[in-house]
């Protein structure tokens, strides 16, 4: 992939040609065909004939977040004079481990305390943000931080807390083969970093949500 990288969140941005790098369907199809050959399969047998095109389309969808600017997701905000915690829990999360290109999946919990004007964003936009960053080759720690940092950038809130719990299929289906292992990551910004009571309140709500 060509182009330079935006240091804020590693979004590929326009290269010297001014063109934003996009998804190369033909290249992806060829790569899948090569992979099938490398695995000892016959990509020309009936069941596999359309597989390279299907897999390429699937990758286009799974990595669509590489080509979307996260700041556009949070472009609409509302002044609601709400100065207390907003917490969205159990956002379903499907991402792809960048080490093995297999899925990791779980849930995300995202909370923030708005700025002094009480500026909030639409609740769905928080789920969209998680989805966007999840649709990239990822590690869970970076995904967690990117969601937190995007909220800080766009809402300038008093604090942000993001907690993610996920199972990595690279640890379940292969390698160490420990299905059921869950990884928890968190990213805290602003008041959640400095105030133990604010952090504890959010974590209690996340823990006690069921």
Given a contact cutoff of 8 angstroms between Cβ atoms, the answer to whether 23 and 60 are in contact is: yes
Q: Which is nearer to Zn ion, 183 or 195 (CB)?
A: 183
Instruction: Tell me: is residue 97 an annotated ligand-binding position.
Output: yes
> Which partner, ligand GTP, Zn ion, none, binds residue 74 by CB below 5 to 8 Å per kind?
none
Segment lying near ligand GTP (by CB under 6 A), choices 14-22, 24-32, 58-66, 169-177? 169-177
Q: Which of 31, 88, 127, 139 binds ligand GTP (CB under 6 A)?
A: 139
**What is the distance between the alpha carbons of residues 74 and 81, in angstroms, rounded to a whole number?**
18
Instruction: Select 140 or 198, whichever has its Cβ closest to ligand GTP.
Output: 140
Residue 109 marked ligand-binding: no
Closest CA to 23 of 67, 87, 78, 84: 67
Round to whole Å and give the CA distance between 199 and 201.
5
Q: Is 99 a catalytic residue?
A: yes
Site string for Zn ion, 93-122 (x = CB under 5 A): ----x-xx----------------------
User: Which listed residue (29, 109, 138, 168) is catalytic?
Assistant: 168
CB proximity list for 169: less than 8 A, separation 6 or greater: 97, 102, 103, 104, 105
Q: Which of 109, 140, 146, 201 is catalytic?
A: 140
Question: HSE of 120 in the Cβ direction (CA atoms, 13 Å)?
Answer: 16
Which chain residues interact with Zn ion by CB under 5 A? 97, 99-100, 170
């Amino acid at each position: 992939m060509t182009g330079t990288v935006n240091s804020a969140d590693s979004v590929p941005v326009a290269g010297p040609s001014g063109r934003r790098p996009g998804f190369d369907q033909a290249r992806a199809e060829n790569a899948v065909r090569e992979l099938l050959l490398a695995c000892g399969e016959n990509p020309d047998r009936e069941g596999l004939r359309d597989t390279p095109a299907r897999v390429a389309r699937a990758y286009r969808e799974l990595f669509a977040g590489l080509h979307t600017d996260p700041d556009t997701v949070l472009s609409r905000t509302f002044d609601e004079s709400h100065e207390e915690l907003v917490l969205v829990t159990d956002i379903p999360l499907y991402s792809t481990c960048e080490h093995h290109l297999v899925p990791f999946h779980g849930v995300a919990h995202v909370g923030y305390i708005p700025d002094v004007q009480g500026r909030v964003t639409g609740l769905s936009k928080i789920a969209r943000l998680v989805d966007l960053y999840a649709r990239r080759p990822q590690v869970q720690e970076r995904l967690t931080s990117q969601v937190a940092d995007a909220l800080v950038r766009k809402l300038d809130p008093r604090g942000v807390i993001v907690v993610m719990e996920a199972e990595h299929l690279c640890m379940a289906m292969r390698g160490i083969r420990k299905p059921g292992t869950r990884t928890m990551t968190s990213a805290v910004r602003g008041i959640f970093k400095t105030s133990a009571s604010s952090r504890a309140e959010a974590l209690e709500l996340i823990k006690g949500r069921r």
